[in-house]
Chains A and B, each alone.
Chain A
């Protein structure tokens, strides 16, 4: 495997890490208004309190690594998707403020504003991520230099928005599965009902997206001929998808959480398969696409960065383990009543 391809998949790992980890805390935000009492909402926010910031670092690092490994792709995507990315920043900032400062003032009205900020920004962020993925699969107009020449309409195609909806549903389900790990008692039973609802919505969106991709985006599935083993991921994805209701019925929260995370990781992987060897697909003129080859940094920089990643990743795994281990176990309403 050449260095460019290695970095293509390493970026996939960072993106999958982001989607699985931040996915559940975005999901908690999406589900947040379903909690009726202030006490329940405190518990929900508390479950992700120590974790969301570390999860978001995966996005920051993904951005930095994309910049370094594929500067052309980074520059084209970020400047081309100007409006969606600005809205995403807006959402991420609001979200951070809502979570971090929710408890800092005693006013009820402030808390209501934060609650709504949390939900709207989480939903908007999930929608925009999914939409960006959808637009990438679908392709956007690029000129011969690999610069975006389309308009907002090209980024917000119905297909892209559908993938955006799929992301919202996937994160909501993942968030519910996470909350089942982190709550107890009557709240947990209600969350189980939310999880069922999320599951059916997600399943419907998943089937619709799969059908439309097969029917209207032929280039997205072309790679399965070259890499038949990628079909294995599809099978694993379906198994994980089928495992979610089983875990809900048999009450196996940990396995259920891993399953919902597994389907998200599988979707990110399939996104990679659909894209490879392109970084940004040009549509309607595929010859203008930015590929691993023409978007990458120099080989020496890619090798250097691979070294940096090889040193860094074991540490990152260790920090992640320490944090999740320190904050293991459910959050009780008493825990939720204290704030740092």
Chain B
């Protein structure tokens, strides 16, 4: 096996594993900010207990996001040294900015968020939660900008440099602002955020639906389900708009990627939109497909007649990405998105009518649907990354002229051998499996244990003396529960009842 294929496999493995976690933590952090904010506002301890529950699941996920992220930063240098030499000036700056602006913010306040429940007041804790959420969002900003720059490069020039008399070429920033606002960055960032919200919402829905089916923590589960459903519905609908705008952006700046998304081997006028199919490279056509005639023309140009260029015409300038993978992952993402829109709208209707809780099969669907949300995020990522092949930095039209990018095959490390990459893949595959197993069982343990739901309202939930006094001042009618709360609060501050059966809800 050659170094190129192995290195690509390794990077795909690393990034796909990594990408399970950040969208989930971004999505969950929004849920946590909402719950803690509501707790501060209403002083209702149930919000606090809910926030604490989701934070526990968030913490376990966040840790994995961090360690799998470090691996990628290393791999740019270890496996893609020629790429690093070529783009360091541009891509490296965005990565460094992520470290300085996002990681420190995130990791600093993460400590307060996870370990600070009884060390800081509820307002400070809320602030920490907001900062962690913001840190995750900033992090996405920089990473998506860096990646988008590779897809639609802007604000740079190719410059000749020399080392010990050997001349080489690299990209250098000429306009930082243009680099940050490269043509696809904003669209892709919004798409990533919405994907994260969808995933976070479906995660909440899955856990809540499971509780409802098991008839545990019923009140918590119903309220969480409703909140998650609201987020899932709005984010899914917004994702439709975002996805459409992004597809148009791809058509404009990465035409070969769009052609691969749709299996468009030849330029067609009007161009069809496949709902599903089986692209066949040999025959240069999509087999067994079902297509909306003129659909792609409409999607790209908003009329049913205009031609859309196909791969045969684009190949010379842009090369040809692996069509089958790009087509299938793209269609999988879109199909799941459509399914989510339909499902969440229908469910919202039942919820509004008050008939939802009796429909066990709907709840069963939502227990599993979180896997589809993960799959949609991953598939979108794969479609975006495979679709830009054979380029790691895509060719860009600058002042009407097509400027050459960097081919993936030219991006490899010169000093690395296939055997080294192979054993590191095996090592990472094993460790990823282990991490995945640990992660799933940690989530399982925490979910089985459930939230500390029926604290006597807010007092005990504060978990500290200041909170008890505040709560007593606010809600004199809860005096009765204060003494119990004090003991109960300490006993439970570890984050859950060990027996997993909070009284009253089970």
Q: Do A and B bind each other?
A: yes
Q: If the complex has contacts A64-B99, A339-B494, are A326 and B89 also in contact, measured as CB distance less than 8 A?
A: no
Check A89 for interface membership: any CB of B closer than 8 A.
yes
- The complex places the Cα of A321 from the Cα of B290 at a distance, in Å, of 60
Check B414 for interface membership: any CB of A closer than 8 A.
yes
- The complex places the Cα of A68 from the Cα of B60 at a distance, in Å, of 31
Check A85 for interface membership: any CB of B closer than 8 A.
yes
- Of the candidates B59, B88, B92, B415, the one whose C-beta lies within 8 Å of that of A147 is B415
- The complex places the Cα of A89 from the Cα of B10 at a distance, in Å, of 14
The smallest beta-carbon distance between A28 and chain B, in angstroms, is 16
Can you name 20 A-B pairs with beta carbons within 8 Å?
A50-B111, A56-B70, A57-B99, A61-B100, A68-B92, A71-B85, A75-B81, A82-B415, A83-B420, A104-B445, A145-B166, A290-B163, A301-B93, A301-B173, A305-B96, A308-B100, A309-B100, A322-B109, A327-B119, A340-B115
| Closest chain B residue to A99, Cβ basis | B63
- Of the candidates A56, A76, A105, the one whose C-beta lies within 8 Å of that of B81 is A76
Contact with B along A72-107 (1 / 0, CB 8 A): 101111111011011011101110110011001100
| Closest chain B residue to A294, Cβ basis | B163
A146 touches B164 (CB 8 A): yes
Check A269 for interface membership: any CB of B closer than 8 A.
no
The smallest beta-carbon distance between A261 and chain B, in angstroms, is 19
Q: If the complex has contacts A78-B77, A100-B60, are A67 and B159 also in contact, measured as CB distance less than 8 A?
A: no
Interface of B is mostly: helix
Q: If the complex has contacts A53-B110, A68-B92, A79-B79, are A101 and B427 also in contact, measured as CB distance less than 8 A?
A: no
B494 touches A71 (CB 8 A): no
- The complex places the Cα of A64 from the Cα of B90 at a distance, in Å, of 12
Work out how many contacts link A and B, with CB atoms closer than 8 A: 252
Chain B residues within an 8 Å CB radius of A79: 77-79, 81, 413-416
- The complex places the Cα of A68 from the Cα of B96 at a distance, in Å, of 7
- The complex places the Cα of A71 from the Cα of B103 at a distance, in Å, of 21
| Closest chain A residue to B109, Cβ basis | A319
Chain B residues within an 8 Å CB radius of A67: 73, 76-77, 84, 88, 91-92, 95-96
- Of the candidates B68, B91, B168, B173, the one whose C-beta lies within 8 Å of that of A300 is B173
The smallest beta-carbon distance between B15 and chain A, in angstroms, is 14
Which of chain B's residues 86-143 have a Cβ closer than 8 Å to chain A? Answer: 87-93, 95-101, 103-105, 107-112, 114-117, 119-120
- The complex places the Cα of A51 from the Cα of B96 at a distance, in Å, of 21
B438 touches A97 (CB 8 A): yes
B163 touches A301 (CB 8 A): no
* Besides A71-B87, A92-B67, A101-B60, 6 other A-B contacts (C-beta < 8 A): A60-B103, A71-B92, A89-B70, A144-B165, A304-B173, A326-B112
Check A131 for interface membership: any CB of B closer than 8 A.
no
The smallest beta-carbon distance between B83 and chain A, in angstroms, is 8
- The complex places the Cα of A89 from the Cα of B162 at a distance, in Å, of 32
| Closest chain A residue to B162, Cβ basis | A294
- The complex places the Cα of A244 from the Cα of B416 at a distance, in Å, of 44
The smallest beta-carbon distance between A255 and chain B, in angstroms, is 25
Chain B residues within an 8 Å CB radius of A319: 104-105, 108-109
* Chain A residues in the interface with B (C-beta under 8 A): 49-51, 53-54, 56-57, 59-61, 63-65, 67-72, 74-80, 82-83, 85-86, 88-90, 92-94, 96-97, 100-101, 104-105, 144-149, 287-288, 290, 294, 297-298, 300-301, 304-305, 308-309, 312-313, 315-316, 319-320, 322-323, 326-327, 337-340
Interface centre among A74, A78, A96 (most CB of B within 10 A): A78
Chain B residues within an 8 Å CB radius of A53: 63, 66, 107, 110-111
Chain B residues within an 8 Å CB radius of A145: 163-164, 166, 168
B93 touches A68 (CB 8 A): yes
- The complex places the Cα of A298 from the Cα of B70 at a distance, in Å, of 26
The smallest beta-carbon distance between B282 and chain A, in angstroms, is 37
A75 touches B117 (CB 8 A): no
Check B441 for interface membership: any CB of A closer than 8 A.
yes
B78 touches A90 (CB 8 A): no
The smallest beta-carbon distance between B304 and chain A, in angstroms, is 47
- The complex places the Cα of A94 from the Cα of B91 at a distance, in Å, of 29
Chain A residues within an 8 Å CB radius of B67: 92-93, 96-97
Check B41 for interface membership: any CB of A closer than 8 A.
no
Chain B residues within an 8 Å CB radius of A144: 163-166
A312 touches B73 (CB 8 A): no
- The complex places the Cα of A306 from the Cα of B286 at a distance, in Å, of 52
- The complex places the Cα of A243 from the Cα of B437 at a distance, in Å, of 47
| Closest chain B residue to A150, Cβ basis | B415
